[in-house]
Amino acid sequence: MLNLWKQQLGQVPEWVWERTDVEALVLADNGLSEISARVGELTNLRMLDLGHNQLTWVPDTLGHLKRLTDFLYLHDNRLTLLPTTLARLVRLRYLNISENAFTTLPEPVCALAGLIELRASDNQMAALPAEIGALSRLRELHLRNNALTTLPATIGELHDLRQLDLRGNPLTHLPETIGTLPRLDKLDLRWVPTLTWSPPPAWMSALEGRGCVIYR
């Protein structure tokens, strides 16, 4: 592991990209505005932390990191897009893109078939693509404090989903397919005054009846 957390680097020293043996690289909280394309040379990486910086983009070469399986932290930056090559990281299990400036969930994220946990809170997302239903292994989906008014019906295809966090979104409607999620045990709808169901829809009552905790 190479831990350079909070070292006030400003930019990543070139010698870092020569450490091709590194399996975990932490570059968080360094005031970084760019990452060299040479990051793609670190092909043994299993974990990469680029959080708490000032990145407006990340290089296409992230898609070269085929062994990146454990964690990819991109939270608390200024990202609006992700490179399409990110879709190659099909073994990645945890992705955090919270606290950026995404207006929709980036398309390559929906190709990350190995994802177990996705954190995309505190962005500006007004919609989710229907393709999110392809994340069949997802167990946790965190979407707090976005601009979502509804979700696609394909959310019901996330059969392994346990936790769905929708706090602080201006939701006016939710698809009934949420009620078909067989393993959902926590649905968080706090701070959503725009949902005015009275009484709650049948699918929500059914979820609670089988033990799912719904916060509202």
Looking at residue 44, its pLDDT comes to 98
For the residues 80-109, what does the mean pLDDT come to? 98
Q: Quick check: 65 and 42 in contact, CB under 8 A?
A: yes
DSSP structure string for 193-216: TT---SSPPHHHHHHHHTT-EEE-
- For 36-46, what is each residue's pLDDT tens digit? 999 999 999 99
Are 167 and 188 a contacting pair, CB within 8 Å?
Answer: yes
Question: What per-residue confidence (pLDDT) applies to 123?
Answer: 98
| 3-class secondary structure, 10 | coil
Q: Show Cβ contacts of residue 182 under 8 Å, excluding neighbours closer than 6 positions.
A: 159
User: What pLDDT is attached to residue 199?
Assistant: 85
What span, in angstroms and rounded, lies between the C-alpha atoms of 26 and 11? 13
Q: What is the CA radius of gyration of the chain?
A: 18
Percent of the chain past pLDDT 90, that is, above it, reads 97
Non-local CB neighbours of 26 within 8 Å, separated by 6+ positions: 1, 2, 3, 4, 5, 49
Query: What is the overall mean pLDDT for the chain?
Result: 97
* Per-residue confidence band for 177, with pLDDT thresholds at 50, 70 and 90: very high
pLDDT score, position 89: 98
Whether the pLDDT of residue 196 is over 90: the answer is: no
Fold of the 2-125 domain: 3.80.10
CA atoms within 13 A on the CB side of 46: 4
Task: Report the pLDDT value the prediction gives residue 198, as an integer from 0 to 100.
Answer: 79
- 118-157 pLDDT, tens per residue? 999 999 999 999 999 999 999 999 999 999 999 999 999 9
3-state helix, strand, coil in the chain (%, to 5): 20, 15, 65
User: DSSP strand E in the chain: where?
Assistant: 2-3, 24-26, 47-49, 71-73, 94-96, 117-119, 140-142, 163-165, 186-188, 213-215
pLDDT, residue 183, reads: 98
Residue 93 bridge partners (DSSP): none
For 25-72, what is each residue's pLDDT tens digit? 999 999 999 999 999 999 999 999 999 999 999 999 999 999 999 999
